[in-house]
Amino acid sequence: MPREIEVVLPTRGVVAIAHLLDDDAPRTCAAVWDALPLGGDIFHAKYARNELYTFVPPFAPAAIGLENPTITPIPGDLVYFEFGAGMLPAGSYGYADDEGVAGADSVIDLALFYGRNNLLVNGDVGWVPGNVFGTVVEGLDELAAAGNDVWRRGAVGESLQFRRRS
């Protein structure tokens, strides 16, 4: 039986269920599982297309590195990214200094992809592979509707939360 987590957008009342991909990404899954619950302010991707994500401080004892990487995530993929200092400067990406991104030594991006045709490329640095560590098995349609609502109406007041399924 795979380990399950909930992916939650509390303000929009969305709770989806995802299976961890322990066989494909054991280091990433172990680190995420041990750190749950995780979450923070939600963002919608500008360039990757159908992506919702949040930033959290590093939680693994050491960098995980690439594991089960992709640059073309599919709907339902949960993806882990490690960004070092200077990779996400506030000015060019629109992050406020108080969001913990600008000037951070490192930051972890936990992302959910809710639609097709995603491509992980950054105009400043090139390809940005991430570790696929989970897949949504229930509630993807609701996540997609919420993702489109975040895109059209805005992210203010919403968060993206990951927690163990109770």
Give me the residue spans of the domains in the chain: 4-164
> If pLDDT is split at 50, 70 and 90, which confidence band does 103 have?
low
CATH code, residues 4-164: 2.40.100.20
**How far lies 100's CA from each of 53, 80, 96, 120, 121, in Å?**
14, 17, 8, 22, 22
pLDDT of the residue at 124: 73
Residues 51-98: tens digit of each pLDDT:
999 999 999 999 999 999 999 999 999 999 998 877 765 555 666 555
Report the percent of the chain where pLDDT is more than 90: 78
pLDDT of the residue at 91: 58
> CA-CA distance, 101 to 88, in Å (whole number)?
7
* Residue 22 clears pLDDT 70, i.e. is over it: yes
Burial class (CB in 10 A: 0-12, 13-18, 19+), 69: middle
Rg of the chain (C-alpha set): 15
Of 31-40, 43-52, 73-82, the range with the lowest mean pLDDT is 43-52
Mean pLDDT of the chain: 90
**Contact call for residues 14 and 8 (beta carbons, < 8 A):** yes
* Residue 2 clears pLDDT 60, i.e. is over it: yes
- Side chain identity at 22, as an amino acid letter? D
Per DSSP, which regions of 13-84 are E strands? 14-20, 38-41, 43-44, 51-56, 69-70, 77-84
More confident residue, 48 or 147: 147
pLDDT of the residue at 123: 76
> CA-CA distance, 53 to 44, in Å (whole number)?
6
**Contact call for residues 12 and 161 (beta carbons, < 8 A):** no
Q: Which residues contact 145 (CB under 8 A, 6 or more apart)?
A: none
Neighbouring-strand partners of residue 134: 20, 78
pLDDT of the residue at 31: 98
* Residue 100 clears pLDDT 60, i.e. is over it: no
